[in-house]
């Protein structure tokens, strides 16, 4: 199988600075979405390729879009590995620090694009916008940058009116129409550099976790943030919202979700502008191969 390592020179990642065996093929991206184009074109010529990408969640998402754009046959035959070099690295947090992983994982489809970790709308998306403004600062990288984004957004007005329709894993439909703080989807458990926002999410179960947080006062939100960060707002075993939060948030495992009356949404940290987000799951869509990684022993900063 052909092996290709993909680097982003604009992020300071050069082969000379990384340990890559001399016999491995290396491609250096030339600009935004060049990785996506390169992966698609490569797979259309030869679907049996093992890509190793260096970067964070946005890099992984771009690679996934490249794979999915190449078609079902390519997605079945190629492999994707990730070397975490981003500011958040939330996708790789889903894998064990003690065991290797090799298998198929689900992919999110959002309108005509794909994601692999999370979709955020409302407060969380606004936080991503603000976090992007400060994440290059060493003191505000990773989860600290996310917290800085939260503080910035909290200084403004909270709450927006959304129209949301869920299709739950049992096929039941559920609708929410009204003001809420935010709504989000998790294929993976983490966002924002380690916030365990979707505690019961599993990358290869054929479902995504969907949550709506009602609008609330700023002091109430600040009391919620600690448990939201550690994943203590939802029972990981039963998927039930803990009693103290039942009036404040709704949490389902779903196969489809449509959100209307919006202006933008975030997919794996990338902000996309549009008034509707139609989200579905593509079960076991791509092959992922990951070594055992302990992120506490790795730098979250771009090299």
| Model confidence pLDDT, tens digit, residues 167-205 | 999 999 999 999 999 999 999 999 988 999 999 999 999
Distance CA(20)–CA(3), nearest Å, equals 11
pLDDT, position 300: 37
CATH placement of domain 2-86 = 3.40.50.10330
Which phi and psi angles does 18 have, rounded to 5°?
A: -125, 155
Pairing of strands 276-290, 79-84: parallel
| Model confidence pLDDT, tens digit, residues 69-106 | 999 999 999 999 999 988 789 999 999 888 999 999 99
pLDDT, position 111: 97
* Res. 293: pLDDT tops 50: yes
| Model confidence pLDDT, tens digit, residues 235-285 | 999 999 999 999 999 999 999 999 999 999 999 989 999 999 999 999 999
> What stretch(es) of the chain map to CATH 3.40.50.10330?
2-86
**Mean pLDDT (whole number) for 36-56:** 96
pLDDT, position 17: 61
Distance CA(120)–CA(151), nearest Å, equals 17
**Higher-confidence residue: 157 or 38?**
38
SS3 state at 57: helix
Contacts of 42 (CB under 8 A, 6+ apart): 4, 49
What class does CATH assign to 118-283? mainly beta
Structure tokens at 89: 């690295």
> What stretch(es) of the chain map to CATH 2.60.200.40?
118-283
Which phi and psi angles does 251 have, rounded to 5°?
A: -140, 125
**Mean pLDDT (whole number) for 36-43:** 98
* Res. 129: pLDDT tops 60: yes
pLDDT, position 54: 92
**Mean pLDDT (whole number) for 119-135:** 85
């Amino acid at each position: 199988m052909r092996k290709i390592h993909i680097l982003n020179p604009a992020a300071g990642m050069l082969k000379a600075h990384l340990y890559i065996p001399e016999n491995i093929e290396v491609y250096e991206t030339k600009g935004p979405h060049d990785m996506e184009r390169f992966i698609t074109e490569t797979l259309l010529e030869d679907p049996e390729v093992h890509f190793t990408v260096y970067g964070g969640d946005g890099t992984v998402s771009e690679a996934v879009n490249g794979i999915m754009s190449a078609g079902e046959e390519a997605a079945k035959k190629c492999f994707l590995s990730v070397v975490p070099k981003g500011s958040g690295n939330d996708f790789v947090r889903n894998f064990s620090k003690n065991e290797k992983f090799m298998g198929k994982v689900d992919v999110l489809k959002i309108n005509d694009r794909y994601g692999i970790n999370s979709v955020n709308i409302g407060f969380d998306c606004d936080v991503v916008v603000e976090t992007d403004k400060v994440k290059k600062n060493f003191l505000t990288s990773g989860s600290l940058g996310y917290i800085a984004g939260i503080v910035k957004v909290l200084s403004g007005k909270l709450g927006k009116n959304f129209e949301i329709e869920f299709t739950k894993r049992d096929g039941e439909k559920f609708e929410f129409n009204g003001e809420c703080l935010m709504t989000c989807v998790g294929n993976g458990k983490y966002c924002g550099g380690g916030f365990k926002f979707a505690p019961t999410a599993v990358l290869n179960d054929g479902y995504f976790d969907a949550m709506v947080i009602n609008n609330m006062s700023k002091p109430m939100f600040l009391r919620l943030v600690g448990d939201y960060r550690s994943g203590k707002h939802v029972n990981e075993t039963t998927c039930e919202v803990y009693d103290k939060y039942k009036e404040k948030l709704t949490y389902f495992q779903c196969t489809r979700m449509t959100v209307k009356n919006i202006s933008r949404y975030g997919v794996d940290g990338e902000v996309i502008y549009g008034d509707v987000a139609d989200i579905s799951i593509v079960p076991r869509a791509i092959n992922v191969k990951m070594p055992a990684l302990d992120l506490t022993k790795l730098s979250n900063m771009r090299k």
